[in-house]
Amino acid sequence: MQIISNPLELQEYLKTQKGSVGFVPTMGALHEGHISLIKRARAENELLVVSIFLNPTQFLKGEDLDSYPTKDEADKKICEMSGVDVLFFPNVVDMYGDDEVSLQAPNVRGYVLEGATRPGHFNGVLTVVMKLLNIVNPTNAYFGKKDAQQLNLITLMVKQLFMSVNVVAMDTVRESDGLALSSRNIYLNEYDRKEALKISASLRVATKMVSSGKIKTQEIIQNMRETLYPLEIAYVTILNRDFENINSVEIGNTVILVEAIAGETRLLDNLWI
C-alpha cells in the first residue's frame, strides 16, 4: 500500500495507472461501516483509493473538530489488510491553501434536517467531496446510506454538475444490538449508549407498522417519538427518496430519518423502505 499525502502527487500517480478506480472517502477512526465500503470497492475495481481527511470546513464553530477521534496507525493497518492500493492522507493546507472558491449546498435541501441543526455543514461536505473526486477521478465512489442527506446531496451534485463518477450507496452496518456504527459512538457512556438503542428501536417500530399496513407518516412518526422518549429529538421525519414530504409511506421510495441526542452526542440513523 502506498501512502500519499500530496493531492498533486496522487493525481500524477493515478495518471500512470490503468483500469477502474474505486474510491472510499472517510474522516478516519475506521470501523466496520467504513470497512464494508472498502471491501465492496476492493471487489469492484482494479485500483482502490481510500482517503482519510478530517475535513475542517464541515464542522461548525463549537463542534467536535478538535476532539473528533483519530486512530491513524490503526486506520493504516486496516487499510493495508483490506487490500487498499493507495491511502490518501492529505493535510488541511494542501487541501485548501487559501482557497476562495467553494461550493454552496442547495438552499432548501442543504438547510433542512442535518443542515438545519448544522447550518453550512453541507457546504463543507460538498466542497471537500468535490475536491476529493477531482483529485482521484474515480470510476466508482462509495458512500454510506447512514448519512442519507449527505448521500442525497452528493448524488445531486454529481448529476447536476455532470460529473462522471458512479455513486454507490451502501447499507448501514450496525452493532449486534442495532446501534448504527459511527466514529462518534465512542463519546457515549454506558447509560447513553443504552438510551441510544431507542433510535434503532424506533426504526424497527416503523418497520413493523409499515409491514402491518399502517403507512400514514404522521402516525408512524408519533409512535417513533414515543419509542425515543426521553431522548432529545432533533428530528424524526419521513420523506420520499428525493427528500420531499409525503403523507403515506411509498414502498421502495421512502426514507425515515432520525437524529437524536444521547448525552451530548448527536446520532443519526435512518431506514430506507
> Contact 195/262 with Cβ under 8 angstroms?
yes
Using CA atoms, how far apart are residues 50 and 73, in angstroms rounded to an integer? Answer: 15
> Contact 248/216 with Cβ under 8 angstroms?
yes
The residue among 134, 138, 118, 143 whose CA lies nearest residue 27 is 143
Pairing of strands 232-240, 86-88: unpaired
Q: Which is nearer to ligand AMP, 76 or 217 (CB)?
A: 76
Q: How far is the CB of 180 from ligand AMP (least distance, A)?
A: 5
Q: Which is nearer to ligand AMP, 254 or 270 (CB)?
A: 270
The three three-digit cell numbers of residue 183, written as one number: 466514529
Q: How far is the CB of 227 from ligand AMP (least distance, A)?
A: 20
Q: How far is the CB of 222 from ligand AMP (least distance, A)?
A: 27
Using CA atoms, how far apart are residues 178 and 147, in angstroms rounded to an integer? Answer: 16
Task: For residue 34, indicate whether it is catalytic.
Answer: yes
Using CA atoms, how far apart are residues 244 and 167, in angstroms rounded to an integer? Answer: 21
Using CA atoms, how far apart are residues 251 and 174, in angstroms rounded to an integer? Answer: 23
Using CA atoms, how far apart are residues 28 and 44, in angstroms rounded to an integer? Answer: 22
Residues binding ligand AMP (CB under 6 A): 26-27, 33-34, 36-37, 143-144, 146-147, 170, 172-173, 180-183
Torsion sign over Cα 227, 118, 240, 44: negative
In the chain, the N- to C-terminal Cα span, in Å, equals 38
> Contact 142/136 with Cβ under 8 angstroms?
no
97: alpha, beta or left? (left if phi > 0; alpha if psi -120 to 50) = left
Residues recognised as catalytic:
34
